Homo-oligomer: A and B are copies of this chain.
Amino acid sequence: MDFKIAVLAGDGIGPEISVQGVDVMSAVCEKFGHKVSYEYAICGADAIDKVGDPFPEETYQVCKNADAVLFSAVGDPKFDNDPTAKVRPEQGLLAMRKKLGLFANIRPVQTFKCLIHKSPLRAELVENADFICIRELTGGMYFGEKYQDNDKAYDTNYYTRPEIERILKVAFEYAMKRRKHLTVVDKANVLASSRLWRQIAQEMAPNYPEVTTDYMFVDNAAMKMIQEPAFFDVMVTENTFGDILTDEGSVISGSMGLLPSASTGESTPVFEPIHGSWPQAKGLNIANPLAQILSVAMLFEYFDCKEEGALIRKAVDASLDENVRTPEIQVADGAKYGTKEVGQWIVDYIKKA
- A193-B223 contact given A120-B121, A122-B122, CB 8 Å threshold: no
Please tell me which one of the listed residues B142, B154, B227, B241 contacts residue A193 in the complex, with CB atoms under 8 A apart: B154
Contact yes or no, A152 B158, CB < 8 A: yes
Q: How many copies of this chain are found per oligomer?
A: 2
Please tell me which one of the listed residues B88, B187, B227 contacts residue A243 in the complex, with CB atoms under 8 A apart: B187
Beyond A150-B161, A153-B158, list 11 extra A-B contacts (CB 8 Å).
A120-B122, A120-B227, A122-B122, A142-B190, A147-B192, A153-B159, A153-B196, A154-B156, A218-B244, A223-B250, A226-B251
CB distance from A120 to the nearest CB of B (A): 5
CB distance from A203 to the nearest CB of B (A): 10
Q: Report how far A161 CA is from B220 CA in the complex, Å.
A: 30
Closest 6 CB pairs of A and B: A153-B196, A148-B192, A146-B192, A154-B158, A219-B247, A223-B251
Q: List chain B residues, Cβ under 8 A from A222.
A: 222, 244-245, 247-248, 251
Q: Using a CB-CB cutoff of 8 Å, which residues 225-266 of chain A contact chain B?
A: 226-227, 240-241, 243-248, 250-252
A169 at the interface (CB under 8 A from B): no
Q: Using a CB-CB cutoff of 8 Å, which residues 161-175 of chain A contact chain B?
A: 161
* Chain A interface residues toward B at CB < 8 A: 88, 90, 94, 120-122, 125, 141-142, 144, 146-148, 150-161, 187, 189-193, 195-196, 218-220, 222-223, 226-227, 240-241, 243-248, 250-252
Closest to A153 in B: B196
CB distance from A189 to the nearest CB of B (A): 5
CB distance from A283 to the nearest CB of B (A): 25
CB distance from A45 to the nearest CB of B (A): 14
Closest to A157 in B: B155
